[in-house]
């Protein structure tokens, strides 16, 4: 179904082969950036052959294969489950380090979103970037990590953001679990895949998919709060999550009328209770005085 890319690659340029033509690259990128699940339309157009099997099939609440072995950026043997501690949610970023365009845009967008939050990888949440190219090695993963940690501007977050490589079977087990479809395209000599990150629960289940190459910091924060089920975040975060719901078409949390009405009912009940309590205490003091 999916062809594995060649085992060799050129330094700093990903996989070998003739360079992709600009019009073809732009065409593929435009399709991949819009690979967000949408409601059926009256008219459907067949996707390019290069994108057969490429996209995202959402598997909300599906468990990740936490026992699968990988290698981190330092060359150490690890398991995917090493980054799920039962307390902190995990952002899973799938792509490959030699990607000439889309992967960099996704990670740049993720980095920009994280920079605008007061939370950091390794503290309130974890980040795992996993290469879908089995030919890539820890040396390249380490170089990419150094660049992104520098861009994030928080050296202390290095331990909370891991860049992994692995074998084809183990990579495929993860991508299948989250519904991330991709394939090697001979004509462009690169992998075709969607622009998406996956927010996972602390115990290793899929919670939320966020699409595109820009990630709003409030959407990131609320997605992490939702995934952690109250284990991180302030009381205000819980109130915001109560009032907002995730709008898949907009790719962000939007004000929910039902949640707002419920919150209004709670506030009204509390205010009425406080008012009645005040009247009761006033009447009690009047009786004691008389």
The CATH number covering residue 104 comes to: 3.40.30.10
How many domains would you assign to the chain? 1
Helix (H, G, I), strand (E, B) or coil at 242: helix
Is residue 282 a part of any domain in this protein?
A: no
The whole-number average pLDDT for the span 197-204 is: 97
Is residue 250 a part of any domain in this protein?
A: no
Beta strands in 219-263 (DSSP E): 244-247, 252-255
Q: Is the pLDDT of residue 209 over 50?
A: yes
Is residue 159 a part of any domain in this protein?
A: yes
Is residue 290 a part of any domain in this protein?
A: no
227-249: pLDDT as tens digits: 998 666 555 545 544 555 556 66
Q: What is the pLDDT of residue 5?
A: 47
Q: What is the pLDDT of residue 261?
A: 44
> Which residues form the domain of 70?
22-233
- As a whole number of Å, the end-to-end CA separation of the chain is 89
80-129: pLDDT as tens digits: 999 999 999 999 999 999 999 899 999 999 999 999 999 999 999 999 99
The whole-number average pLDDT for the span 62-69 is: 98
Is residue 238 a part of any domain in this protein?
A: no
* Percent of the chain residues topping a pLDDT of 70: 62
Is residue 283 a part of any domain in this protein?
A: no
Q: What is the pLDDT of residue 259?
A: 44
Is residue 264 a part of any domain in this protein?
A: no
Judging by beta carbons within 10 Å of its beta carbon (0-12, 13-18, 19+), is residue 248 exposed, middle or buried? middle
Q: What is the pLDDT of residue 228?
A: 92
Helix (H, G, I), strand (E, B) or coil at 149: helix
Cβ 195 vs Cβ 105: under 8 Å: yes
The H or E element that residue 257 is part of is helix 257-289
């Amino acid at each position: 179904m999916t062809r594995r890319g060649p085992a060799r690659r050129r330094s700093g340029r990903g996989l070998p082969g003739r360079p992709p033509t600009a019009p073809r690259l732009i065409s593929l990128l435009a399709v991949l950036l819009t690979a967000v699940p949408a409601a059926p339309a009256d008219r459907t157009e067949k996707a390019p052959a290069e994108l057969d099997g490429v996209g995202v099939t959402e598997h909300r609440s599906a468990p990740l294969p936490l026992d699968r072995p990988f290698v981190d950026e330092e060359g150490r043997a690890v398991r995917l489950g090493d980054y799920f501690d039962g307390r902190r949610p995990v952002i899973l970023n799938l792509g490959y380090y030699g990607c000439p365009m889309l992967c960099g845009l996704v990670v740049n967008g993720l980095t920009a979103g994280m920079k605008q939050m007061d939370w950091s990888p390794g503290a309130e949440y974890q980040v795992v970037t996993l290469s879908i190219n089995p030919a890539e090695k820890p040396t390249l993963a380490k170089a990419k990590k150094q660049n992104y940690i520098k861009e994030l501007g928080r050296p202390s977050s290095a331990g909370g953001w891991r860049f992994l490589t692995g074998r084809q079977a183990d990579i495929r087990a993860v991508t299948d679990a989250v519904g991330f479809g991709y394939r090697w395209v001979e004509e462009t000599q690169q992998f075709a895949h969607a622009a998406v990150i996956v927010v996972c629960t602390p115990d290793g289940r899929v919670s939320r998919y966020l699409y595109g190459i820009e990630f709003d910091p409030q959407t990131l924060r609320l997605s992490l709060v939702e995934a952690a089920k109250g284990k991180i975040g302030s009381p205000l975060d819980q109130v915001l999550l109560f009032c907002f719901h995730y709008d898949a078409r907009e790719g962000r949390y939007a004000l929910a009328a039902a949640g707002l009405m419920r919150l209004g009912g709670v506030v009204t009940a509390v205010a009425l209770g406080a008012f009645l309590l005040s009247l009761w205490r006033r009447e009690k003091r009047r009786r004691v005085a008389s």
